[in-house]
Amino acid sequence: MELRQLQYFAKVARKQHVTKAAEELHVAQSAVSRQIHQLEEQLGVNLFLQQGRNLQLTPVGSLFLRRVETILASLDRAVDEIREFIDPELGEIRLGFPHSMGVHLVPFIVSLFRQKHPNVKFKFKQGKYQSLIQSLLNAEIDLAFISPFPSEVNCVKGDVLYTEELLAILPSNHELAGESSIKLNQLKEDSFVMFGEGFSLREIVMNACKEAGFTPSISFEGEETDTIRGLVAAGMGVSLLPEMALQYASSPLKPVHLSISDQNVTRTIGLIHREKEALPIVAEQFKQFIVKHFE
């Protein structure tokens, strides 16, 4: 079985058409058909079924495609690692982060790093807490900013970078908007604008409200800090957001933000990577840069 056969098979599977696959591969259609035929003979199965002018994967073809894509991705990564070993400045950093860190933290850090390493490329992945950890374990990314810092996740380790305070945010016409600080239970009668299920900030806010003696009534849910902040500013409810999400807001519609006097509502922000695997050279450089920056 040849590498070329696997590459041709994967391309035909994605395009569902031999001619289109051949065009992207810059080879003759007959060459692609011949390689697919030889592959099927070696495996003793049909990988495709003809559906009009298109090809459709058979069930065993779909199973084979998943394995082939993993093999090809590993091979591409191995080639990248060799290039990075020869010259780390030409490498790629695969970085994950939650939506709430995409407004300022990630652009700021990446910009600083690229001032010293202008040729390094980045591949980003945004996601929720659990999906970021899973992407890390699946080797889809090499590093991830995460909050809260995971203390009991197997095969993951990293560094706590800093702790950030969460502030109460209210519409400008709220009766408490003129205060310098409030107790969280003063908001127990208000509707909350909250992050959806699976977001770590939702769990932090829910736990803080529980500690304050109430369960918040949720009127709206969102997936980004900009959405939460905008809905609160528009009078749709109240919420709690990290300082970072409020300092760098560009929208003219801004809520009032107040400190919480009776609780220390915070989130830890960390940088994690796979525990028993050395980082690519360029990713290790980036990690050390970040840790040093936050020292």
Sequence-separated (6 or more) residues with CB below 8 Å from residue 17:
53, 54, 55
Mean pLDDT value of segment 16-25: 88
Q: Which two tokens stand for residue 211?
A: 């500690």
Confidence at 250, pLDDT banded by 50, 70, 90? low
Average pLDDT for 20-35: 90
Same-domain pairing of 108 and 60: no
- What does the angle CA 39 – CA 43 – CA 47 come to, to the nearest 5 degrees? 65
Region 202-211 average pLDDT: 94
Query: What confidence tens digit (pLDDT) does each residue in 267-289 have?
Result: 999 999 998 888 888 899 999 99
Least confident interval from 4-8, 46-50, 76-80, 139-143: 76-80
Q: How many domains in the chain?
A: 2
Residue 68 sits in the same domain as residue 98:
no
Do residue 9 and residue 115 come from a single domain?
no
**The domain that contains 52 carries what CATH number?**
1.10.10.10
pLDDT at res. 283: 92
In angstroms and rounded to an integer, the radius of gyration of the C-alpha atoms of the chain is: 25
Task: Look at strands 266-274 and 143-146 and give their pairing.
Answer: antiparallel
- 114 shares its domain with 139: yes
Of 35, 53, 85, which residue is a domain's last? 85
Section 219-246 average pLDDT = 90
pLDDT over threshold 90, residue 100: no
Task: Assess whether 104 and 216 both reside in one domain.
Answer: yes
End position of a domain, from candidates 57, 85, 113: 85
- Average pLDDT (130-159) is 89
**159 vs 104, which has greater pLDDT?**
159
Tell me which of 59, 85, 111 is where a domain ends.
Answer: 85
Provide the pLDDT for residue 1: 79
Q: What HEC string does the chain produce?
A: CCHHHHHHHHHHHHHCCHHHHHHHHCCCHHHHHHHHHHHHHHHCCCCEEEECCEEEECHHHHHHHHHHHHHHHHHHHHHHHHHHHHCHHHCEEEEEECHHHCCCHHHHHHHHHHHHCCCCEEEEEECCHHHHHHHHHCCCCCEEEECCCCCCCCCEEEEEEEEEEEEEEECCCCCCCCCCEECHHHHCCCEEEEECCCCHHHHHHHHHHHHCCCCCEEEEEECCHHHHHHHHHCCCCEEEEEHHHHHCCCCCCCCEEEEECCCCCEEEEEEEEECCCCCCHHHHHHHHHHHHHHC
Lowest mean per-residue pLDDT among 101-105, 110-114, 135-139 = 101-105
Question: Residue 249 above 70 pLDDT?
Answer: no
The confidence score (pLDDT) of residue 251 equals 62
- The pLDDT, as a whole number, for residue 150 is 86
User: Considering the entire predicted model, what is its pTM?
Assistant: 0.69
Instruction: Provide the pLDDT confidence category of residue 248 given band limits of 50, 70 and 90.
Output: low
* pLDDT score for 143: 96
User: Is residue 169 within 8 Å of 239, Cβ to Cβ?
Assistant: yes
Domain ranges, residue 267: 93-295
Answer yes or no: do 162 and 284 share one domain.
yes
User: Is residue 4 over pLDDT 80?
Assistant: yes
CB atoms within 10 A of CB 140: 16
